[in-house]
Amino acid sequence: MSPIASDEKATDSMTSDNRFPSPFDIEAPEGAQGWEQLYNWYHLFGEDRREQDEQRFWFQDRLHHPEVLHPYDEIQCECWWQALGAFNTRVFAMPPAFGVDQRVLNGYLYVTPVPAPPEDLAARAELFGRRAGYYYENWDSIYAEWKTKVLACLDRITKISFEPLPDIEPESVVFERTGQSSGYRMIRDFSDLVQTMYETYQYHFELLNVGYAAYLTFFQFVRERFPDISDQTISRMVGGLRVDLYRPDDELKRLAREAEQLGIGDVLLEGTDPASVFAALDATDEGRQWRTDWDKTKDPWFLINTDPGHPGASHVHPTWIDEPAIPLATVKEYVRRLRAGEQIDRDTAGVLAERDRISGEYRELLDPADRTAFDQIVELARTVFAYIEEHVLYIEHWMWATFWAKSKDLSRALTAMGALDDPEDMFFLRRTEVAETLYDVVAAWSVGGTPRGANYWRPIVEQRRGIYEKLRAQPPVLAMGPPPAEINEPFTVMLWGITTASVSEWLAQRRTTDQGEKVTVLRGVAGSPGVAEGPARVVRTVGELLTVQAGDILVCPATSPSWSTVFGQVAATVSDVGGIMSHTAIVCREYGLPAVVGAGNAVATIRDGQRIRVDGDTGVVTILD
């Protein structure tokens, strides 16, 4: 196409080229009509608020919720919708930003950051200075208290158990004079389970965005003074701390080493599936000794969710406890590396020394007048960074793994009591509908009757399953509405990695596909340096990792810490979401693999087996076939 022709094209469709479709123009996939009933009414677009919502820029929250939501799992979104908003808007008075608003469309979660009114900036800045300042000054003791509060939440939900209700109450109800029926307690416990998650999210955002603000400030401070510095170098001045998030992986290394000491490494190396490995281990004293250690390590260190991207985002993905094949494969890989004479321990001292060298030398390059400020902000960034990393273990892994496990206990109990046909049915009910179902079951149990639940829900669940499948079959539009001319809202950039550049790239891709042309180049963030070519292996869930072969290029929505075995095999990685500090980028740098993160639409665009080139220096992915 000549440049003149393409200019004409651009002028022609200028208006629609510069904005994404309106949420009110997006139709439900064929057969998914009526999908709205799966979600809470306040989570939906509606004609009554069209005027407001059509003027906002919405993007699909693929960082946290890349998949179609199950109705029950909507609670995950609601937890952070409320808590992030309240702590930004009302508690810390974050000067430029209110909360992040949410809508569900065609089963996918869309979000839009709400800016604070510019005229409030000064007043909010003063409040934020006092309030956030108090947290920064007392961070370590506040964080110590924080752990106590969150572990108390964990303890509370761990103790909840959902069993089918007994025919006759145990004697304790009478002789210990508890005065409460199991039916009442079942209703109460479900309510506690949900409320405790809400409580946990208060703590989640008690520290997260105040912490991010400090971390972001450090980035900006350095970047303003060294415009050419890479994000990777800035993050190396902060990271490298020995934080609890690495502990699960360290436990697997320890188990690998112990297996070698006990002389049972061969059993792990030769094993194909967990059942046969455990059977072989149980045949010897050493094997049984190792099994005991393994079982002891499970709680809490295998309470690890395997969702691609945001751990614990849905009930669908298994934990390491559910799928022992995942941690076993990692241990096996460590045994192999130990035998190859490789060092498997993280070189924490080396990383710390390098961190201090880099920040020291950059400090020397600063104008002397800026050095005190640098010292203050790097120290604060390091202080908050431990929380930014560690909260993921406590909340996204431990709390959510436990919440989903308890929810599954409840769904099994309800099924056993005839309120549902199948445990999975419960996840097609909204949280409030589950509470209703519980009341139905408990009332029926109490009077000695039959619950109405299964008959009532059967046609509804069947219809919802059909809708859910249709929704899943259609990938979401990336964004809706008019994008701002410039994206500088700090949390959009920092958390979602969405920038002015990435939005114009999405618009460009839209133009390409609108013109019926194939997208052959995807641009994202240069996550880890180097260039590699190979066949693409598109992986959406942890189960699909087994199809990955040496030399493949992993193309995924995002990676998870529990995917670590795959990085020993792949030649490069491409992820749809994530910035420079995403798990994918960090791990690939550790493994020396090229990575492009935040590539937008790679999973939907790249076909399994296609040859692609990944340029981790420039952030470009090229489809070669």
Partner 1 sequence: MSERHIIDLLPGTDGNVAELGGKGAGLAGMIRRELPVPPAFVVSTTAFRTAVGAPAGRVDDRLDGLDADDPAFAGHCARARAEVYEASAAATGVLDEIAAAYDRLDPAGGGVAVRSSSAAEDSGNASFAGEHDSYLWVGGRDAVVERVRACWAGLYTERAVRYRRRTGVRGDAMAVVVQRMVDARAAGVLMTLNPVSGDRSVIVVESVFGLGEPLVSAEVTPDRFVLDKVTGEIRRRETVEQSRRLTGSAGRGTRWEPVPEPGAPSLSDAELGRLRELGRELERGAGHPVDVEFAVEGDRIHLLQVRPETVWSRTGPAPQPAAPAAAGAVHLVLATLTAR
Q: Which residues bind partner 1 (CB under 8 A)?
A: 94-96, 121, 125, 128-129, 132-133, 136, 213-214, 216-217, 220-221, 224-230, 232-233, 236, 357-358, 361-362, 365, 367, 369-370, 372-373, 376-377, 379-380, 490, 529, 617
Taking CA atoms, 606 is separated from 280, 327, 471, 596, 611, in Å, by 41, 29, 20, 14, 9
Half-sphere exposure of 30 (CA within 13 A, CB side): 0
Enumerate the H helices of 448-563 as residue ranges.
453-473, 490-496, 500-514
CB of 94 to partner 1, least distance (A): 7
CB of 530 to partner 1, least distance (A): 11
CB of 298 to partner 1, least distance (A): 39
CB of 579 to partner 1, least distance (A): 17
CB of 551 to partner 1, least distance (A): 23
- Whether 265 and 333 have beta carbons less than 8 Å apart is answered as no
Kindly tell me which of 358 and 604 has the beta carbon lying closer to partner 1. 358
Helix (H) or strand (E) holding 292: helix 285-301
CB of 224 to partner 1, least distance (A): 6
95 burial via Cβ count (<10 Å: 0-12, 13-18, 19+): buried
Torsion of CA 31, 101, 514, 7, to 10 degrees: 170
Token pair of 28, please?
């439900």
Token pair of 411, please?
């769904």
CB of 226 to partner 1, least distance (A): 4
Distance between CA atoms of residues 403 and 616, nearest Å: 38
Burial code (b: 16+ CB inside 10 Å, e: under 16) for 361-397 equals ebeeebeeeeeeebeebbebbbbbbbbbbbbbbbbbb
DSSP state of 600: S
Helix axes 431-447, 453-473, angle to 10 degrees: 160
Q: In what order do the strands lie in the sheet with 108-115?
A: 97-105, 108-115, 58-60, 479-480
Kindly tell me which of 121 and 604 has the beta carbon lying closer to partner 1. 121
Instruction: Assign 3 to helix, strand or coil.
Output: helix
CB of 367 to partner 1, least distance (A): 7
Kindly tell me which of 126 and 282 has the beta carbon lying closer to partner 1. 126
Kindly tell me which of 211 and 312 has the beta carbon lying closer to partner 1. 211
Peptide bond into 300 cis (omega under 30): yes
Kindly tell me which of 384 and 503 has the beta carbon lying closer to partner 1. 384
CB of 438 to partner 1, least distance (A): 44
DSSP state of 614: E
Kindly tell me which of 358 and 435 has the beta carbon lying closer to partner 1. 358
Kindly tell me which of 225 and 511 has the beta carbon lying closer to partner 1. 225
Vertex 73 angle, CA 475 and 602, to 5°: 25
Kindly tell me which of 227 and 448 has the beta carbon lying closer to partner 1. 227
Kindly tell me which of 179 and 227 has the beta carbon lying closer to partner 1. 227
Kindly tell me which of 237 and 553 has the beta carbon lying closer to partner 1. 237
- Whether 402 and 157 have beta carbons less than 8 Å apart is answered as yes
90 burial via Cβ count (<10 Å: 0-12, 13-18, 19+): exposed
Phi-psi region of 430 (alpha: psi -120 to 50; beta: other; left: phi over 0): beta
Kindly tell me which of 370 and 433 has the beta carbon lying closer to partner 1. 370
CB of 625 to partner 1, least distance (A): 23
CB of 366 to partner 1, least distance (A): 9
CB of 210 to partner 1, least distance (A): 9
Vertex 194 angle, CA 35 and 143, to 5°: 120
Kindly tell me which of 110 and 362 has the beta carbon lying closer to partner 1. 362
Torsion of CA 93, 204, 316, 552, to 10 degrees: 90
